[in-house]
Amino acid sequence: MRRLLKADKEVFTGWGARAVIVVVWLLVNGALWQFTHAQVVQQAGQLQSHFAQLDASVSGSRVGEFSTLVHHYGFAAETQTASIWLWAIESVKFQFADTELYLSPAPIVQDCLPVVLFMNCLMLVAGYLLSRWMGSLSRAELSATQARAITSELSPDIQANAVEASRKVSVFAMLKWRQTLPEELDPQSHFSVTLARCFSKYERCSCKYLSSGALVMTLAPVDKVDVDALARRIHEVVYQALLTFRPDLSRSAVKCGVCFYTKGADQAMVYQVVRSALSIAQSNVWQHVHVMPLNHTLSTSLRRAESEIMDDIKAGRFMLFFQPLFGFAQQDVIQSEALLRVRHRSLGLMSAGQFIHKIHRAEHLMLLDKTILRHALNALVKEPAGFSVSVNLHVLNWSNVEFIDWLREQVMTSGRTSDIAFELALQDFYQHEEYCCQVLTGVSEAGCRFVLDHVNAPLKLEALRRFGQVTALKLAFELIHEVHHSAKRRSVVRQIVAQAKELGVPVYAVGVETKEEFECITKLGVDGAQGYYFSAPLLQLEQSL
């Protein structure tokens, strides 16, 4: 209790701080007044000396010269000075010839007044901010002192339990894999039983299989020091469960993102963090699990991420690059993919893959795709016929009638409908097949072409035949990376190439980085490729073509 009383007394020391601020304010104003007074005394001395010279050599009839001299030194006759200044400032006595003159230093004071007002405003703002800061420190100190006082009065067992509780967090994991589950399988029931059996020691263990093909699960409570080991165990359990359906499945085909957080965390923020963690794991060939904590700094950054990125786009702080696609038969560039890079003020140049999962509002997704398409068309119309550009648009915008109408109008106005291709992820096409057949057919009839990208598994030929508008396929990066070291992935590529021949469309590889990969995909029958082995993304379209 003595500590609590001491803390209460410390809060009231804020009055001492206010007293110090008042004293400083008085001292500064006193110094300013001394400075002004010194100016008046200095100017008065110079004016008196000049009066002495005039007394000896100039007749008193030269009134104009006298008046000019008085104003030059910053004085004015009392008859020409406002009454408020006469009341506030004492006039200065001068001796001119045999006459005593009383002149007001009001002009000098008026010249010094802006400096005085500025300094006072500055001190008021500084005092207010200092008062707020000291108040927050006092409240924080009070809370900490009260907590220490309360904790010190608890029994050792209760103290130990409190410390133990502070180390507990909840774990939210999201997993995705490159494998199609059997159609007769109920994924929700299958994984619920498996995970409940393997993680039965946790009070809370729940999972859900999402329509996007991702598996999410929550475990709580978990000790902070066990989070990394638990994340690896979650990945291993799901991997073993998938081996039941495909014995040759590799661990690199299963990716896991994990977020751990304390009680009361914003669930929307948790979901954003785990998606970011999963994206990092998916973009890394060797890292299958990525763990991220949801702390205050990350929460603040995520809240502002969407608005900051959209502000950058609206302000024109972005660049459009073009990734050339080389055709093996043509021995030349046959197409370039438009890639947006945003200049973020703190994170630097960000690719769409780094920030697209942070964009949630429909109007922001529409603005993003409109920006990409508008600038891609502006670059395309400056080039001669035959140059081709592909653009990857967000799947949600394809379901927006307003966006489709705008897109059709922009493409028709450009006059380059046959030179523009739109890329759509294969899994998105499968999920929205019926709608794609209705809407994309209309865009295709205008002359545009469609390319299915992120192809990482054998095709559903019947679905693609029904659509009938696919003009090319792009193999996923994870399928091509070091494909020469994986017999299983080479087999998948051969199967896709054979199916593409049945459809009569070419197959292109994405992310080719080495000579070995290039030689391997050439032998597998791939028709073209893009990647750093051929060229890095280029800033101008004419350079890539």
Whether the upstream peptide bond of residue 221 has omega within 30° of 0, thus cis, is yes
Q: Tell me the C-alpha distance between 512 and 393, whole Å.
A: 22
The CATH 3.30.70.270 domain(s) of the chain lie at 168-294
Of 397 and 356, more confident: 397
CB neighbours of 161 closer than 8 A, spacing ≥ 6? Answer: none
> Residue 121: its pLDDT value, please?
87
Q: Tell me the C-alpha distance between 80 and 83, whole Å.
A: 9
**For the chain, how far is it from start to end, CA to CA, in angstroms?**
78
- What is the Cβ-side half-sphere exposure of residue 45, based on CA atoms within 13 angstroms? 5
**DSSP code of 58?**
S
In this structure, the chain runs to a length of: 545
- Write the pLDDT tens digit of every residue in 1-26: 444 334 444 444 556 667 777 888 88
Output phi, psi for 183, to 5 deg.
Answer: -65, -30
Q: Which residues pair with 392 in a beta bridge?
A: 423
- What is the Cβ-side half-sphere exposure of residue 320, based on CA atoms within 13 angstroms? 25
Q: Is 537 helix (H, G, I), strand (E, B) or coil?
A: coil
The CATH 3.20.20.450 domain(s) of the chain lie at 304-544
- Write the pLDDT tens digit of every residue in 369-392: 999 889 888 888 887 777 788 898
| Tokens 């005039």 sit on residue | 54
- Write the pLDDT tens digit of every residue in 281-339: 887 777 889 998 887 655 565 566 778 888 888 888 888 888 899 999 888 888 888 88
**Homologous superfamily of 304-544 in CATH?**
EAL domain (3.20.20.450)
In CATH, what is the architecture of 168-294? Answer: 2-Layer Sandwich (3.30)
Q: Tell me the C-alpha distance between 232 and 270, whole Å.
A: 19
Q: Tell me the C-alpha distance between 352 and 155, whole Å.
A: 54
- Write the pLDDT tens digit of every residue in 239-276: 999 988 888 788 888 999 999 988 877 777 788 788 87
Contacts 24+ apart (CB under 8 A), 309-316: 309/342, 309/344, 309/350, 309/355, 309/358, 309/359, 310/359, 310/364, 310/367, 310/368, 312/342, 312/343, 312/344, 312/345, 313/342, 313/367, 313/368, 313/371, 314/367
Q: Which residues pair with 174 in a beta bridge?
A: 216, 257
CB count within 10 Å of CB 422 equals 19
Q: Tell me the C-alpha distance between 528 and 474, whole Å.
A: 9
Cα 268 to chain center, whole Å? 16
Sheet with 99-104, edge to edge strand ranges: 76-77, 99-104, 92-96
> Residue 248: its pLDDT value, please?
79
User: What's the mean pLDDT in 87-103?
Assistant: 74
C-alpha triplet 344, 346, 350: angle, nearest 5°: 40
- Write the pLDDT tens digit of every residue in 173-224: 999 987 778 888 888 888 999 999 999 889 889 898 887 788 999 998 899 8
- Write the pLDDT tens digit of every residue in 489-531: 899 999 999 999 999 999 999 988 888 999 999 999 999 999 8
Q: Which two tokens stand for residue 368?
A: 């993003």
Q: How far is CA 306 from CA 312, 344, 361, 470, in A?
A: 10, 11, 9, 33
Average pLDDT along the chain: 80
Q: Which residues of 452-485 are buried (b: 16+ CB within 10 A; e: fewer)?
A: bbbbbeebeeeebeebeebebbbbbbbbbbebbe
Q: Is residue 509 within 8 Å of 521, Cβ to Cβ?
A: yes
CB neighbours of 349 closer than 8 A, spacing ≥ 6? Answer: 319, 341, 342, 343
The pLDDT confidence band at residue 146, using thresholds 50, 70 and 90, is low
What global pTM score does this model have? Answer: 0.51
- Write the pLDDT tens digit of every residue in 409-431: 888 888 888 888 899 888 888 88
Q: Tell me the C-alpha distance between 359 and 343, whole Å.
A: 16
User: What's the mean pLDDT in 118-140?
Assistant: 78
Q: Is residue 137 within 8 Å of 14, Cβ to Cβ?
A: no
Q: Tell me the C-alpha distance between 461 and 183, whole Å.
A: 17
User: What's the mean pLDDT in 396-407?
Assistant: 86
Q: Nearest to residue 362, comparing CAs of 314, 316, 326, 395?
A: 395
3 state SS for 217-246 = EEEEEEEHHHHHHHHHHHHHHHHHHHHCCC
Sheet with 168-177, edge to edge strand ranges: 204-209, 215-223, 168-177, 254-261, 289-293
Query: What is the β-pairing status of strands 449-455 and 470-475?
Result: parallel
Q: Tell me the C-alpha distance between 164 and 47, whole Å.
A: 81
| Tokens 């660049």 sit on residue | 319
Q: Would the pLDDT of 442 be above 70? A: yes
Q: Is residue 289 within 8 Å of 232, Cβ to Cβ?
A: yes
